[in-house]
Structure 1
Amino acid sequence: MVNYNGTILTLAKSQLSIQNRGYKYGDALFETLKVVNGKIFFWEDHYFRLMSSMRIMRMDIPMSFTMEFLEDEINKTLFANDLLQSSARLRINVDRGEGGLYLPSDNAKIGYNISAEPLENPFYSIDTNASCVVDLYKDYYIAPGLLSGLKSNNKAIQIIGSIYAKENDFDNCLLLNTNKSVVEALNGNLFLVKDGHIKTPPLEEGCLKGVMRKQILALLAEDVNITVEEAPISPFELQKADELFVTNVIKGIVPITKYRKKHYTSDFAQTLINKLNAKLRLQS
């Protein structure tokens, strides 16, 4: 069941028009949420990122789009899919409806839809037996700047990068910007660990303004024994690192196990994910 502008519909009846601007031009934004027993992880951060992204895209935000309204719509969707008492992956899409060419005919005509599917794990974990082999994806590059960090429906690089990874038996790929700096992975933000020093690309490099990235930076700031730096990462630094890991809201932290000839440990990532789960338990 899908929530289409506040109405619960079956998937068959919820099909978007081919005139929808999200389909025609990628004129849409989305948020991917993790929900456990009706509790939305980091809901405030997701909500404000969505509102900020809508402003950047010059969408007229409806007065009804309060945090409480959207949370009610999320719970309505979970209830319709019998997921209120379990773990779920949920996606909110916001678009500008129909009309116009590149210039919208009605900038205030904002629509939304919400879909949900079950997730296995309520909390985050690292499978120490799992591999995550990566390489650089160099066919196309991300433009530096905050526009690249939006969760928009224009994900061409991530799509063809994922196909490239599958064709070459990689589990993921690392993306570069036009300055040839490493920006992020296909599905999350990148962190580099070297001798107790943690590094992640700044938002200005073109990386996603990740909600989990924000949580990890906050956890790292609490530890006086490590230093954290938001700075560009050169491809040459990857093979010198002790650990590399990718973060996103659904999986939490995914350690990279191999890049080219370099193998990595995951001890720091495991410690960090334990802290993340402890924080979530305190908030639940």
Structure 2
Amino acid sequence: MTNFNGTITADNQFISINNRGYAYGDALFETIKASHGKLLFWEDHYFRLMASMRIMRMEIPMNFTMEFLEEQIQNTLNANNLTNASARVKLLVHRNEGGLYLPTDNDVSFAIVAKQMENDFYVFSDGFYEVDLFKDYYVSPSLLSTLKTNNKALHVVGSIYAKENKLHNCLVLNTNKHVIEALNGNVFIVKGNVIKTPPVNDGCLKGVMRKQIMEILKTMPEYELIEESVSPFELQKADEIFITNVIVGIQPVLKYRKKLFNTEVSKSILQKLNVKLRLS
């Protein structure tokens, strides 16, 4: 069941061939984890969406309050019998159809879909997980590259490349040849007591889970958190590498090329993340 502009429907024919999200990638989305009706980090998702709509020059409807959109998500969960389960929710906002590159106007519509997930909280995965660099295409750092838009061609091609090369993921480079993120999340590099993550102005996604991990690290005096450009040469010198997003939480990397990594730091951070969720 899909929620389109507040109407729950089993029919997806409301998306036309002229939908601007389909035709031009003129759309934004938020992927949200819901656990038994609770939207994890909802406030962060909401404010990122509002900021992204302003950057995209979309008209924000007066009723697009945090409470209204949360209610619409809850209605969608209820329609899919997911209020007592964990779910992956996708909230899409697209500019209404009309015009070519230049839109007829900046009004928007929204759609919400939900799919059941297994785990209520974040589970540590210490299974084999190998990554490499994706060097076929590069991200040009800008404010637009930090947004979750429908224009994800690089990430799609990169995911196909990873599958073809029997990798679990790839790390993405910007045009300055700095590592900025993974195909499906932000990246953190651990060396000794220093934990480094690429800055947003290098072109990485302004991730919601990235923010949570950074807040947790600031409460751990045994580590120094640095937002700084990451060179590919640093990867093989690292003690640990882990990837973050709101669906898996923390995914430790076990292998990059010939280098094998530890997982102790990522395991410790994940435990603190789950404690934070239980207390919130």
**Which range, TM-score by smaller chain?**
over 0.9
Aligned-pair CA distance for 1:54: 0.2
Question: What pairs with 1:1-284 in structure 2 (closer than 5 Å)?
Answer: 1-10=1-10, 12-107=11-106, 109-128=107-126, 130-283=127-280
The answer as to whether partners of 2:125 and 2:252 remain within 8 angstroms in 1 is no
Aligned-pair CA distance for 1:15: 4.2
Q: Normalised by the size of structure 2, how large is the TM-score?
A: 0.99
Aligned-pair CA distance for 1:162: 0.2
Deviations, residues 96-118 of structure 1 (Å, cap 9, x unaligned): 111000111011x2100000000
Deviations, residues 211-245 of structure 1 (Å, cap 9, x unaligned): 00000000000111211100000000000000000
- Which residue identity is paired with 2:76? T
Deviations, residues 8-45 of structure 1 (Å, cap 9, x unaligned): 000x3444000010000000000000000110000000
The answer as to whether partners of 1:2 and 1:14 remain within 8 angstroms in 2 is no
User: In the aligned structure 1, how far is the partner of 2:143 from the partner of 2:246?
Assistant: 20
- Which residue identity is paired with 1:140? Y
Q: Normalised by the size of structure 1, how large is the TM-score?
A: 0.98
Which stretches of structure 1, 4 residues or longer, exceed 6 Å deviation after superposition?
Answer: none
User: In the aligned structure 1, how far is the partner of 2:80 from the partner of 2:5?
Assistant: 16
- Which residue identity is paired with 1:2? T
State how many pairs are aligned.
280
The answer as to whether partners of 1:189 and 1:207 remain within 8 angstroms in 2 is yes
Aligned-pair CA distance for 1:139: 0.4
The answer as to whether partners of 2:2 and 2:12 remain within 8 angstroms in 1 is no
User: In the aligned structure 1, how far is the partner of 2:13 from the partner of 2:185?
Assistant: 29
> RMSD of the alignment, in Å?
0.7
The answer as to whether partners of 2:244 and 2:251 remain within 8 angstroms in 1 is yes
- Which residue identity is paired with 1:115? V
Structure 2 runs not aligned, ≥5 long: none
User: In the aligned structure 1, how far is the partner of 2:180 from the partner of 2:100?
Assistant: 32
Aligned-pair CA distance for 1:144: 1.1
User: In the aligned structure 1, how far is the partner of 2:248 from the partner of 2:112?
Assistant: 20
Aligned-pair CA distance for 1:259: 0.3
The answer as to whether partners of 1:87 and 1:122 remain within 8 angstroms in 2 is yes
The answer as to whether partners of 1:4 and 1:14 remain within 8 angstroms in 2 is no
Deviations, residues 58-112 of structure 1 (Å, cap 9, x unaligned): 00100010000000000000000000011000000000111000111011x2100
- Which residue identity is paired with 2:136? D
Task: Give identity over the alignment, percent.
Answer: 60
SS in 2 for 1:173: strand
Deviations, residues 93-151 of structure 1 (Å, cap 9, x unaligned): 000111000111011x21000000000000001122x1110000000000112210100
Deviations, residues 154-178 of structure 1 (Å, cap 9, x unaligned): 0000000000000000000000000
User: In the aligned structure 2, how far is the partner of 1:216 from the partner of 1:31?
Assistant: 18
